[in-house]
Amino acid sequence: MHAVKFKPRAFLAHQGEECSKFWLILDGTVQFRAISFEGQNTVISSFGPGELIGAYSCPKAFNFDICVLSPMTALEVSATTLSELVTGHSDIGAGLSRIYAGQLDVVLDRFSSRVSLSAVGRFYKELLRATEGRDTVSPPPVIASLALIAQTTRETGSRALGNLERRGIVERGHDYLKIVSRGMLEDLVV
């Protein structure tokens, strides 16, 4: 593997085009986005440090774009080289399967949220996920980005966050977001 760097808004793969590379993200974030025939942009999932993306064993055409959100550094290898490594080293295959299982859980959780939660509930759930269990996050999550992941509008996200502030559930400054009552926020995920 060799280290590569990508700037924000770079595309690692385009929907419908063949990709033959595999990446281990060291720093930064990417999103998988699909565009429907009607032009609707849907975020499938986001991935960050320690996660795996790309073609696993052979070149393949993706049904989504892989777009870099924040400056990203990754280790890159061709899909065929990775396949050969896994064949010769079962411990590498076991490690990859654990990471992929975790990623599948997140994607299934988002899918479940999409069909069972309100738009505001999805936004609150993504806000909780973005804080990664911390009470204070600096810099604060970007409302438009959380809304896109939650499959709602920036306006809905902004109103939902404003409601949390008015109720004293979160505190927001220009360089931080603090969850004052995690339990109350979790109760609003409906």
85-89 long-range contacts, Cβ below 8 Å, gap at least 24? Answer: 86/57
User: How do residues 64-102 score in pLDDT, each as one tens digit?
Assistant: 999 999 999 999 999 989 889 889 999 988 988 898 888
Q: In the chain, what are the domain boundaries?
A: 2-116, 119-187
User: How do residues 18-29 score in pLDDT, each as one tens digit?
Assistant: 989 999 999 999
The CATH class, in words, for 119-187 is mainly alpha
As a CATH number, domain 2-116 is 2.60.120.10
In the predicted model, is pLDDT for residue 40 greater than 80? no
Mean pLDDT throughout 26-50?
Answer: 86
User: How do residues 118-177 score in pLDDT, each as one tens digit?
Assistant: 999 999 999 998 888 899 999 998 898 888 888 888 999 999 999 999 999 999 998 999
112, two tokens: 């479940």
In the predicted model, is pLDDT for residue 113 greater than 80? no
State residue 73's pLDDT score.
96
